[in-house]
Structure 1
């Protein structure tokens, strides 16, 4: 019984870590971004991927804002802990 509790605790911690993991906008799919980022739906997520495919990886949040219509400072701030490059 004690082993089951330990296993459940470890599984819970792993799931929490996965849920809190940042989304790398240079590798994530549109579906992953739309699901994980606050205020990013399918349309913006598709624009991120289309722009990335056409012009290469994003260096940082400032470049993401410059290159993708619909991404501004408020959206970046809402997702500051979730964005990775």
Structure 2
């Protein structure tokens, strides 16, 4: 393997690792925000605005978890090379 090939492979693995960490952090942030929303909902009971916010948070968390899983898969594949 040449130095250029090694550098390219190392750069790709670093990018995948960084994206995996970023996706995990975003998922954790959204999870905390969803927990905060649930607490607020418990205090103020159900209303239209809180309900809409909850639906948005759940959708964002679901998408974030899919992205996190994607980067974890890429990370596991890249470490096998």
Give the alignment's TM-score, normalised by structure 1.
0.40
Larger radius of gyration: 2
Which structure has more relative contact order (CA 8 Å, sep 6+)? It is: 2
Q: When you count strand as a share of all residues, which structure comes out higher?
A: 1
Q: When you count helix as a share of all residues, which structure comes out higher?
A: 2
